[in-house]
Amino acid sequence: MTLLSINPANGHTIAEYKTHSQEKVDQLIADARTAFEDWRQVSLTDRSRVLSRAAEILKTNRESYALLMTREMGKPLSQSLGEIDKCADACRFYADKATEFLAPDMVMTEAPESFVCYEPLGVVLAVMPWNFPFWQVFRFAAPGLMAGNAGLLKHASNVSGCALAIENIFREAGLPDGLFSTLLIKSQDVERVIEHKSVSAVTLTGSGAAGASVASTAGKALKKSVLELGGSDAYVVLADADLDLAARICAKSRMNNNGQTCIAAKRLIVESGVKEEFEQKLLRQLENYQPGDPEQEQTNQGPMARTDLRDELHSQVEKSIAAGARCLLGGKVPDGPGSYYPATLLTDVDESMPAFHEELFGPVASVIAASDEEDAISKANNSEFGLGAAVFTSDIDRGRHIAAHRLEAGTCVVNDFVRSDPRLPFGGIKQSGYGRELSHFGIREFVNIKTVYSG
């Protein structure tokens, strides 16, 4: 069997990768476990040298890695370059901060000495998606490796080139042989890997269905799992907001990565008194995005990653329009090769439509009217998802209160767009998953939080 890498800009096959046999997978798992036993004894100082070297390799070869990413999944080249830089930053961050994050915590008890220490778990399987093919992996790998774990990567099949490139980065950086390997397998083979006795835990970024399957398998095997799943982020625009700012940020968030990000501004919930004015400003912002060749520097919107994903998105748009939504921009599948879909703006969206309840994973913004602040917050929280959310208001204290205490999501921001940052924890609630990545919370997800006391 083979895994195909297809350029979504033109439909041409880039490469074919032969899947690993069951025997090869077993050998890679065994190698990871053997390498882990040595790596866990390596000092944090020496581990940090490897991560720092990985950051250098990323920066030195950023253009070639970015081009590979763009060709495999269609991200505009400028955004691919930014993604590589972000991966390098994450490596440096954990190289610098792991000693602090993993330092034992002394606790006063009746015993002469009591403390909590953080020991690595073992081999962690990462099941990663195609939309941020480098960042999603480094988001898991940088803290996981610094914590002393081994890593196995099952990447999305359409970005196998990126997966192998990342494996080579760590090898070139000095990671011991076998400690981080790519498994070229199909999705149906993941269950067996999770169940393997030498695999200690699993992390997944992906769809709710994939998350439920992985969580079920991990639960049956009594193994730790972390899930970062879908999102239908609500951006609440209150009547006192700076509408120019809100429109600019909502458009940028919605169109980032060709609209294919879990934390994009998807449901724009606007107080009725400013809805029409906001729509016109947002429309002008979205008109600036024109699909083009993602390898060209000036292109700000590339194709979607696959044609089937484009067609699924278009179906959601058509169903929403049939239910009463109005399309102010886009909404038509263009002629020609590639998986392109235009920037699309839907308005008069309500709870009866896919554009309200489902995740629209592509360049489609949905405007939803709210009678007042309470109605806006209620509609924002009326979702099975809880990954990110935002509120726009000129009253910063009001905005902070809403973000901190009223919106139901893992990350909430005021007058800005949701993003991940190595310094801050990232993850969701409800059907958007559980557990946290990044910051000191992320590095402690796959460790044994061990209590030690001496009498």
Look at the block and give the residue holding tokens 């239910």.
323
Query: What residue spans of 102-180 are helical by DSSP H?
Result: 135-146, 160-173
**What residues contact 208, with CB distance under 8 A and at least 6 apart?**
229, 230, 431
User: Angle 44-60/160-173 helices, nearest 10 degrees?
Assistant: 130
Residue 224 and residue 104: Cα distance in Å, rounded?
A: 22
Is the distance from CB of 59 to CB of 88 less than 8 angstroms? yes
Q: What are phi and psi of 241, to 5 degrees?
A: -75, 155
Secondary element (H or E) of residue 320: helix 307-322
Is the distance from CB of 453 to CB of 115 less than 8 angstroms? yes
Residue 39 and residue 149: Cα distance in Å, rounded?
A: 8
Residue 241 and residue 268: Cα distance in Å, rounded?
A: 13
Question: Is 262 one of the catalytic residues?
Answer: yes
Catalytic residue among 72, 228, 373, 445: 228
Residue 47 and residue 52: Cα distance in Å, rounded?
A: 9
Question: Is 228 one of the catalytic residues?
Answer: yes
**Number of neighbours of residue 163 by Cβ within 10 angstroms:** 25
Residue 321 and residue 354: Cα distance in Å, rounded?
A: 10
Catalytic residue among 262, 358, 359, 437: 262
C-alpha distances (whole Å) from 283 to each of 251, 278, 363, 415 are 9, 8, 13, 19
Residues labelled as active-site residues? 228, 262
